[in-house]
Every structure is written in structure tokens, then in C-alpha cells.
């Protein structure tokens, strides 16, 4: 029998070596991937393999961060030093602005772990610049200590017309839900003048129950009288996405100050949801003192009439008939700034 030509033998040996090399590369990559993920190192691994066909393969293996545990760096009761809060705002703003990898419009999160919840903070706003700086200088460190992934949306009403808080909050929700780069588990509607006094009051929500959370149930302006059983769910209120859609958002027909929070309380009950509140010692908020602007009047009779008809309006006034125009969006270092034309009465 004739022996195979030397050329064929060489080819058989060459292709066998290439096959063995590929198998060893696959096995080693798999082993390294498992080891990196097990140890949770943030390491990038690359290896080039060139086959007989001169095709280059690049593999990148990235270790995942561990899931955040319960927050362990909370302060508890905090001092209400508003000058220090504004200073913290400027320090944070400068620090984030110098980070070349952050161009704005992104959520914040801890460096060392993967948060369990992603939270959108929606702040209706107009002509309260000092209040906004005070709140953000106070709130940003709290949310980071709570191991949250979060993004702040400041929703500013354009023009000098009468203020409509409900339309601003609905607009902020729809933008965060549909336009932001992050999927949010919780949506927290936050008045700009409300400062939490205890960071153990967690900014979260329940995504699998019928309970929404009223976080600001004890406020300095009202001598910290507990709001356990009344109509009010104002100040700081937390929903999951499905819960907020279920109640059809806030009503759109309250112009000026007051009423939309009491209306929301009726919507929550109408949809079979319950209002949960933190322990009384945790839900204390300091309200920044201020005078109400003349574009935000309070007409008691009008407000009372609308609240009385809240159940009849719940399905026809809210997210499903919102007509606002977002005229601009600016990604600032600490928040996303929406400019909104809310229309007219």
C-alpha cells in the first residue's frame, strides 16, 4: 500500500493542531468567564485567535457587579442645615461636571454593587431655584446611601400662566417611562420644598402589591401632626409603574394651589389600592418656608367642588387625556430638566 503524500500528512497535522487550539481556547475562555463572575472582578479579558482562514475572533468577558445588600451607611436623623445643602449641591454639580464619561441624562448608582431598584424622582417646578438646589444637595447623598439607581427629572412649567402641578407630574412620568435611557421600577413625585429628615425612610415602592407609599406623613409646617387617616397624600408619593397607570395619573384640571393630592387619594381608593406610610418617626419632613407666588392662587370653592367629583373624573382626566408640549430637555449634571407648556384652562 502506498503511503500518503507528505503534503497531505502536513495538512492533516496542521488542521489537527488548529482544531486542538480552538478547543483549548474555548475551554479556557469558559473557565475564565466562570472565575471572573464568581469573584465579581471588573476585568476585561481579550484573546486573539487566528485560524487557517485568517479570521480574527475577539472575545470580551465582563464580570457583573454583585447585587446590593441592605444599605449599611445610613445616618438616621439628620440636621437640617440648608446652607450646607446648597454647598453640597454645588460640590456635587462641579464633581459630576468634570467627569468626562458622564454627559448628563443618565441615572446614578453605587460603584460597588448592582441596585435592586431603579427610581425616577419627578419634581414639578417653577421659580424655586434655591429650593431646588437645597433639595438636590440633600437628596442625592441620601439616595446613594440607600443603594439605589436613580435619576431626577425636574419638570418646569413654561410661561407665566397659572400653575398646573398635575399636568407637570403626568408629563414627567411619561417622559421618564418612554424617553429615558433607564427602566424605572418606582416613580416618586416630590415637591421641591420637602426635605426628608431621616434617611432610613427608604425611597422605594412595592411592585407586586396593591400598596402605594406616602413618604411624607409628618411635616414641620403642620407641627409634625401625623396624616394617618385623612385625605392628603401630598408632598412625596411613590408608585410602581403599573400602579400609576392604573390610577390614570394625577388629574389635569386643577389650576393653582391645592386639590390634586386629595383627588389622587380618591383615585387610589377607587382602584382598590391602599396607602402605606413609614413609621411615624421616619417620615418626618422639613418644609422650606416660602410665600406662594401670585401665579399659584387657591380658590377654595373650586377646589372643593372638583375634589367632590374626583371619582367621576378619574377615568377621563389624567394620563389618557394629557395634552402638554415638552418644549425642551436639558441634561444637567445632577438632573434632567424638562420645559413644559401645559396649555391653558
Active-site residue list: 191, 193, 257, 260-261, 287, 290, 292
Rounded Cα distance, 59 and 55, in Å? 13
C-alpha cell at position 38: 464568581
Residues ≥6 apart with Cβ < 8 Å to 72: none
Residue that has been written with the C-alpha cell 402589591 in this structure? 209
Q: Return the ∠ at Cα 149 (arms to 146 and 151), rounded to 5°.
A: 110
How far are the Cα atoms of 152, 192, 263 from residue 324, in angstroms, in the given order? Answer: 20, 21, 20
Q: What burial letters (b/e) apply to 278-295, b meaning 16+ CB within 10 Å?
A: beeebbbbbebeeeeeeb
Contact predicate 156/129, CB 8 Å: no
For 260-342, strand residue ranges (E) read 274-276, 284-287, 325-331, 336-341
**DSSP 8-state assignment for residue 164:** -
**Contact assessment for residue 144 and residue 113, using Cβ atoms and an 8 Å cutoff:** no
Cα 235 to Cα 26, 87, 137, 165, 285: the distances in Å are: 56, 24, 18, 12, 9
Cell digits for 157?
A: 412649567
Question: How is residue 96 written as a grid cell?
Answer: 459630576
Q: Are strands 325-331 and 48-50 parallel, antiparallel or unpaired?
A: unpaired
Whose cell is 438632573? That residue is 335
Q: How far apart are CA 165 and CA 152, in angstroms?
A: 17
Can you say whether the dihedral through the CA atoms of 218, 221, 225, 227 is positive or negative? negative
- Distance, in Å, from the CA atom of 128 to the CA atom of 126, rounded to the nearest integer, reads 6
Amino acid at each position: 500500500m502506498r503511503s500518503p503524500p507528505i503534503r497531505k500528512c502536513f495538512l492533516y497535522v496542521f488542521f489537527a493542531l488548529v482544531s486542538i487550539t480552538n478547543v483549548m481556547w474555548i475551554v479556557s475562555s469558559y473557565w475564565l468567564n466562570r472565575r471572573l463572575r464568581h469573584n465579581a472582578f471588573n476585568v476585561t479579558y481579550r484573546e486573539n485567535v487566528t485560524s487557517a482562514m485568517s479570521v480574527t475572533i475577539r472575545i470580551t468577558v465582563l464580570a457583573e457587579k454583585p447585587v446590593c445588600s441592605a444599605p449599611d451607611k445610613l445616618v438616621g436623623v439628620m440636621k437640617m442645615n440648608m446652607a450646607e445643602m446648597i454647598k453640597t449641591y454645588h460640590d456635587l454639580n462641579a464633581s459630576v461636571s468634570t467627569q468626562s464619561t458622564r454627559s448628563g441624562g443618565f441615572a446614578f448608582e453605587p460603584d460597588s454593587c448592582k441596585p435592586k431598584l431603579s427610581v425616577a424622582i419627578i419634581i414639578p417646578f417653577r421659580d424655586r431655584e434655591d429650593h431646588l438646589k437645597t433639595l438636590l444637595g440633600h437628596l442625592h447623598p441620601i439616595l446613594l446611601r440607600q443603594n439605589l439607581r436613580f435619576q431626577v427629572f425636574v419638570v418646569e412649567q413654561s410661561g407665566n400662566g397659572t400653575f398646573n402641578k398635575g399636568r407637570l407630574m403626568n408629563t414627567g412620568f411619561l417622559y421618564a417611562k418612554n424617553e429615558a435611557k433607564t427602566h424605572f421600577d418606582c416613580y416618586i413625585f416630590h415637591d421641591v420644598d420637602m426635605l426628608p429628615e431621616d434617611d432610613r425612610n427608604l425611597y422605594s415602592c412595592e411592585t407586586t402589591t396593591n400598596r402605594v407609599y406616602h413618604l411624607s406623613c409628618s411635616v414641620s409646617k403642620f407641627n409634625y401632626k401625623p396624616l394617618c387617616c385623612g385625605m392628603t397624600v401630598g408632598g412625596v408619593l411613590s408608585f410602581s409603574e403599573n400602579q400609576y397607570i392604573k390610577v390614570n395619573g394625577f388629574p389635569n384640571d386643577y389650576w393653582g394651589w391645592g386639590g390634586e393630592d386629595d383627588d389622587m387619594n380618591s383615585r387610589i381608593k377607587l382602584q382598590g389600592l391602599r396607602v402605606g406610610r413609614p413609621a411615624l418617626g421616619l417620615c418626618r419632613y422639613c418644609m422650606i418656608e416660602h410665600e406662594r407666588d401670585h401665579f399659584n392662587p387657591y380658590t377654595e370653592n373650586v377646589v372643593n367642588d372638583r375634589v367632590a367629583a374626583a371619582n367621576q373624573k378619574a377615568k377621563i382626566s389624567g394620563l389618557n387625556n394629557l395634552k402638554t408640549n415638552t418644549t425642551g430637555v436639558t441634561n444637567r449634571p445632577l438632573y434632567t430638566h424638562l420645559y413644559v407648556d401645559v396649555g391653558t384652562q
